[in-house]
Amino acid sequence: MTVPPVLRGASLACTTTLLVCADEALPRLSAATGAHLSSCSQLATAFRFAGTTLTSSEPVPSGTLKWGGRDVGAHCLVRGEMFRRTSPQDGKSYAIGFEMRLPDDWNGRFFYQANGGIDGNVTIALGGGGDPVPATALEQGFAVISSDAGHSGGDDPSFGVDSQARLDYGYQAAAKLTPMAKALIVAAYGKRPDRSYFGGCSNGGRHTFVAMTRMPEEYDGYLAGAPGYRLPLAAIASQFGAKQYATVATSPADLGSAFTSPERASLSRAVLARCDALDGVTDGMIQDTTACQKAFDLERDMPTCTGARDGSCLSPAQKAVISAISSGAVDGRGKRFYASFPFDSGHNSADSAFWEFVVPLTLDPAGTAIIWGVPPAEPATFNGPAYALSTPIDAMLASVAATNATYPEAALSFMLPAHPTDLGAVKSRGAKVVVYHGVSDAIFSVDDTTAWYEGLRAANGGDASSFARFFRVPGMAHCALGPSTDQFDMLSALVDWVEKGRAPDRVVAYARGVGNAVGANPDVPPGWSPHRSRPLCPYPMVARLKAGATDLETADSFVCQ
Ligand SMILES: [Ca+2]
């Protein structure tokens, strides 16, 4: 259903000066209206959609699920699958497994929960529940779908042998599930969703980038967190890092011995010492990331060990390694193929060792060789560490760009949005895009997302803020954690923008200190209020202390400038 857009009141005054007010004239989509669930138990047998089998539909009483200590309200849980088939490559059975949670009191909106990792699980369709959001989409009344994106088995990468499962993971599962989910909503509530939203973090952010380029008509709002929108290249960059770390690891079996937790903490302190005050206030947070990259000099500002490594310094060889990783992975000709990684305050976040030293020897090589490489490696005999440490970067890059008769679409095509800065179809119909990314993210670089947003600005006459806004989250690691304010409700901000025309000029974010209802963040420094708040600011603005403000623990003291 297409709801006629209404023009914002302000735009009416601009009709005689259309050139000046071109962006003001973007259509505003009408607000969703709610409805009550009319059918649940009967759905499993009554619902018909091509290629779809519902295996169950049952009422879930209020309180069966909880979030932040609260009861998630009564809803209908529908489980099913699409396009069950047997693989011609590995003989295994595949389907696109999914669940939908349909609230009894529905707000008229649909949320497509795009999941992280390599998918492979039907995670609970809470809507945002993979991250420490203050309230999930399901609680807010959205009908939510979650899927395994076409393969089961969790982190098992062997589905990459099946050519169709690759494509479903890349982009086709979301395209198949979307019309089915909207039809199921009609069966459950008697009308289609008035407004549809698509969101996720990490690989879910990648799915969101893919959706906004491949399905600009299907969703009214796109919410991408830490978008690994060039995931195969990020994974190869991560293995570039592993090769670097291996040269200075003191324990060959543990890449983390190359750059220990005390050393990562020392680096964060050195960066803070140089950059904390650049935003006008010494508060343990680096708001002006851009200025920090110019100000911080690893060689000068980080102590160099004169004797044995003791955690307070880095050896010259370590500095060379960290400099190479930070400035961006390069191919055999020295050409950068991914992005740089900024220096920030969160190099020792609780998840940093996992992303820096574990994933580059496990998930990243498995993805590169089995899920994206052509031809795929044999899963049964695959050795992740050996692949990551011994395969030349150029061979990895060639592999994810390759095709053959069995795998006719390369990973760089099925995993990546084709033209991520060409969002004219999204913009012109009044849909909106909100993106956020932690500055201390160790696996997908905030610099990659910044480069995308700069490209989007350039493609829109230097300013994309009328339909797409990007929020950097200082100190935050991958989707959460780090010494940061990592709890925020970007979904409500997006809905207000799409349906009420209120563009997000700032989004208030909270630290998850001791006692936080969703769970405490161990990286919140002891000197902070457990409830510290800060505005997240639309790029390129940064949060700065208001003149005369003295309370450093509240967002009210800060302005986006
Ligand atoms: Ca500061």
Burial class (CB in 10 A: 0-12, 13-18, 19+), 246: middle
Closest by CA to 342, choosing from 283, 278, 275, 281, is 275
Active site residue 279: no
Bridge partners, 147 (sequence order): 98
pLDDT at 3: 37
Lookup result for tokens 């601009």: 14
| 353-391 confidence digits (pLDDT tens) | 999 999 999 999 999 999 999 999 999 999 999 999 999
| 33-54 confidence digits (pLDDT tens) | 999 999 999 999 999 999 999 9
Query: How many angstroms from the chain centroid is the CA of residue 509?
Result: 17
Catalytic residue among 202, 399, 445, 484: 202
Global pTM?
0.95
What distance in angstroms lies between residue 552's CA and the mean position of ligand 1's atoms? 10
Cα–Cα separations (whole angstroms), residue 12 to 15, 26, 174, 465: 6, 11, 37, 20
What distance in angstroms lies between residue 463's CA and the mean position of ligand 1's atoms? 27
What distance in angstroms lies between residue 313's CA and the mean position of ligand 1's atoms? 23
| 121-142 confidence digits (pLDDT tens) | 999 999 998 899 999 999 999 9
Three-class HEC string of 184-211 = HHHHHHCCCCCEEEEEEECHHHHHHHHH
Cα–Cα separations (whole angstroms), residue 308 to 54, 263, 312, 315, 316: 63, 13, 10, 9, 12
What distance in angstroms lies between residue 287's CA and the mean position of ligand 1's atoms? 6
Q: What is the mean pLDDT of the chain?
A: 95
Confidence check: pLDDT of 434 > 50: yes
Closest by CA to 391, choosing from 459, 345, 332, is 332
Confidence check: pLDDT of 6 > 50: no
- Percent of the chain topping pLDDT 90: 94
Catalytic residue among 75, 151, 347, 478: 478
Catalytic residue among 194, 220, 276, 441: 441
Asked whether 318 and 247 are in contact (CB, 8 A), the reply is: no
What distance in angstroms lies between residue 272's CA and the mean position of ligand 1's atoms? 8
What distance in angstroms lies between residue 130's CA and the mean position of ligand 1's atoms? 29
Active site residue 347: no
Rounded mean pLDDT, 63-89: 97
What distance in angstroms lies between residue 559's CA and the mean position of ligand 1's atoms? 13
pLDDT at 5: 40
Active site residue 202: yes
What distance in angstroms lies between residue 89's CA and the mean position of ligand 1's atoms? 55
Confidence check: pLDDT of 294 > 70: yes
pLDDT at 23: 53
What distance in angstroms lies between residue 93's CA and the mean position of ligand 1's atoms? 53
Terminal alpha carbon distance of the chain: 40
| 309-351 confidence digits (pLDDT tens) | 999 999 999 999 999 999 999 999 999 999 999 999 999 999 9
What distance in angstroms lies between residue 535's CA and the mean position of ligand 1's atoms? 13
Over its C-alpha atoms, the chain yields an Rg (Å, rounded) of 24
What distance in angstroms lies between residue 282's CA and the mean position of ligand 1's atoms? 5
